[in-house]
């Protein structure tokens, strides 16, 4: 995409949160939250268990109001920082807000700790009051961590140290990655631009970008290895103190999903490597006239691909039309993101790489960040993030404490949005060759979401397991990465030496350990859901929107039950993976 075209793309306006980092509104909210948090602690610390139901409900309401103010401030700082990670003034503002917010929220920690110490019979009595009962799902999720709770003093200390410990290393990673430049054929590319080149039609461009990317990451490997080792050790210490059996256990508990369910997902996907990724990439190698693919050919366009690019207007209409055909109500929600400055679209130096949807707080609205380059995959990314945004709007009806959705379900609307958009695009295509190209592209996206993310999960599992026995060398980190990549991608690929450095650019390893399996969980869940939809399940659209509206009030079992699905049943994962396998079957037939 040309610089002129990119300059005309929409950018978000964060003034719905605050007019600016030095605005009186922000300072006033920060002061208010600080005063109210101290007053809340003075009023309730040490007394929560003695409250009656009505007073308990009022206390939760006050806690919710204070945390919403803090989350609004945090959201503004995070989004401003993502707009220009390389700006030192914004970086200092972001760090200041993190520190001040952490100091304020330290006065609130006691509340959830004391809720966890309330006797079950006493809590049952308190929740008989309707205003308190409304928060029962939030209390359920808090009390799930009771067995892993430390003393009040330790909890407060860990909370306050976050900004000077783990948070600092996350910031170091983000700012380092944003500042890296990858010199390719006389151009200094950002991480977003160089990874985009890996999808170029021209093999030499892909190769040049891939080689430089691996080299630059390797030149910075000492720092990335230090960050990874430090954060893994930090997690190991806290997990040990809290009594988690496995490194993934805390994430599973937060996701409201049992270890056994995640193990079943991982086992099912790994057991399908041969039928899915190995089979598809051997097929792709034949299409491209190669015995083996080079690693930079993984996302290469097929020879018949016309390399069509999409304008922003075309991408918007494609996605909204697909949403509208499924549910006009859902499309109306999605349209608000385009009618208002809620999306930051263009790729630019200093901007955070990748894409995300930030829910901010229910009293405002979500924001979407993209790095739109005009490719078909960028259209799918828009459909994905818009799904998140619509989900966040609908779940926001539950209020600040009840709207947050566990990661295993947070990917549902996003992946469903992709599926709706893909189906709409492929059904409208009359050219057989183009349909095959689109189907292959969808398979690659699904493999990236399911197989690749489970391979990422396995990389994390090995790293965190081995870190318990000592620091991992740069070489060992590269060995684990290569082992997981070879297992997942199969014998259709050649891997050059610099590919061993590619683990270092994956932000989820740093930001949210063990986040990645949620993508595979969500994709398989959506495949199963979509198959139910195609079978003509009565009232599907209404049930689907009700599921999104539920936010964090229901578990995955309760949410899937109306559709006749159960994620604890091994057949559930097979149903989801069969959708991908069926697409590959179709590609083999038309080949």
pLDDT at 70: 98
Q: What is the distance between the alpha carbons of residues 283 and 290, in angstroms, rounded to a whole number?
A: 10
Determine the pLDDT at residue 7: 66
Four-point Cα dihedral 216, 217, 221, 226, nearest 10 = 130
pLDDT < 50: residue spans in the chain = 4
Q: What is the pLDDT of residue 427?
A: 86
Which residues are within 8 A (CB) of 292 and not within 5 positions of it... i.e. 6 or more apart?
Answer: 285, 491, 492, 493, 494
Distance CA(115)–CA(79), nearest Å, equals: 32
Distance of alpha carbon 581 from alpha carbon 577, whole angstroms: 6
DSSP 213-227: HHHHHHHTHHHHHHH
Secondary structure of 458-525 as H, E, C letters: HHHHHHHHHHCCCCCCHHHHHHHHHHHHHHHHCCCEECCHHHHHHHHHCCHHHHCCCCCHHHHHHHHH
Q: Where are the domains of the chain?
A: 3-164
- Output the pLDDT for position 431: 86
- Residue 302 is given by DSSP the state P
Within 10 A of 569 (CB to CB), how many other CB atoms are there?
12
Residues 6+ apart with CB under 8 A from 157: none
3-164: CATH, from 1.20.140.70, 3.40.640.10, 3.50.50.60, 1.10.3720.10 = 1.20.140.70
Q: pLDDT by residue (tens digit) across 471-481?
A: 999 999 999 99
Phi and psi based region of residue 350 (left: phi greater than 0; alpha: psi -120 to 50; beta: remaining): left
């Amino acid at each position: 995409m040309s610089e002129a075209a990119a300059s005309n793309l929409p950018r978000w306006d964060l003034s719905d949160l605050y007019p600016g980092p030095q605005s009186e509104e922000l300072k006033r909210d920060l002061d208010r939250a600080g005063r109210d948090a101290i007053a809340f602690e003075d009023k309730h610390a040490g007394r929560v268990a003695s409250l009656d139901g009505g007073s308990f409900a009022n206390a939760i309401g006050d806690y919710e109001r204070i945390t919403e103010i803090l989350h609004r401030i945090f959201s503004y700082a995070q989004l401003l920082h993502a707009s220009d990670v390389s700006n030192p003034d914004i970086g200092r503002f972001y760090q200041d807000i993190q520190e001040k917010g952490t100091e304020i929220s330290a006065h609130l920690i006691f509340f959830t700790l004391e809720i966890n110490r309330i006797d079950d019979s006493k809590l049952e009595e308190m929740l008989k009051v309707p205003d308190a009962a409304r928060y029962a799902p939030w209390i359920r999720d808090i009390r799930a961590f009771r067995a892993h709770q430390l003393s009040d003093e330790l909890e407060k200390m860990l909370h306050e140290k976050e900004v000077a410990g783990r948070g600092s290393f996350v910031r170091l990673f983000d700012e380092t990655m944003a500042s890296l430049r990858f010199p390719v054929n006389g151009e200094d590319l950002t991480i977003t631009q160089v990874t985009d080149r890996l999808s170029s039609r021209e093999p030499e461009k892909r190769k040049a970008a891939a080689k430089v990317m691996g080299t630059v990451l390797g030149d910075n490997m000492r720092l990335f290895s230090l960050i990874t080792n430090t954060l893994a050790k930090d997690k190991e210490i806290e997990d040990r103190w809290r009594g988690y059996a496995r490194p993934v256990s805390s994430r599973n508990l937060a996701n409201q999903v049992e270890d056994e369910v995640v193990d079943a997902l991982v086992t099912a996907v790994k057991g399908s490597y041969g039928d899915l990724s190995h089979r598809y990439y051997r097929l792709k190698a034949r299409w491209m006239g190669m015995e083996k693919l080079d690693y930079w050919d993984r996302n290469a366009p097929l020879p018949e691909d016309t390399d069509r690019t999409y304008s922003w207007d075309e991408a918007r209409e494609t996605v909204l039309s697909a949403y509208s055909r499924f549910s006009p109500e859902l499309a109306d929600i999605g349209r608000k993101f385009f009618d208002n400055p809620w999306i930051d679209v263009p790729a630019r130096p200093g901007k955070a790489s990748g894409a995300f949807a930030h829910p901010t707080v229910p009293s405002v609205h979500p924001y979407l960040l993209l790095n739109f380059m005009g490719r078909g995959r960028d259209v799918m990314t828009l459909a994905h993030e818009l799904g998140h945004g619509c989900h966040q709007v609908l779940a926001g009806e539950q209020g600040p404490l009840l709207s947050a959705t566990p990661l295993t379900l947070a990917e549902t609307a996003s992946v469903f949005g992709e599926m709706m958009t893909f189906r709409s695009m492929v059904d409208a295509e009359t050219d057989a060759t183009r349909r095959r190209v689109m189907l292959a592209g969808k398979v690659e996206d699904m493999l990236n979401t399911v197989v690749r993310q489970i391979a990422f999960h396995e990389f994390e599992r090995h790293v965190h397991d081995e870190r318990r026995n000592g620091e991992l060398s740069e070489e060992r980190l590269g060995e684990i990465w290569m082992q997981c990549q070879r297992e997942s991608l199969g014998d259709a690929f050649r891997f050059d030496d610099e590919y061993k450095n590619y683990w270092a650019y994956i932000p989820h390893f740093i930001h949210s350990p063990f986040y990645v399996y949620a993508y595979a969980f969500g994709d398989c869940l959506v495949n199963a859901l979509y198959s139910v939809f195609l079978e003509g399940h009565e009232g599907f659209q209404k049930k689907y929107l009700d599921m999104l509206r539920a936010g964090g009030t229901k578990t995955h079992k309760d949410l899937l039950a109306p559709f006749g699905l159960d994620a604890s049943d091994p057949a559930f994962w097979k149903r989801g993976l069969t959708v991908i396998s069926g697409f590959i079957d179709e590609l083999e037939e038309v080949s």
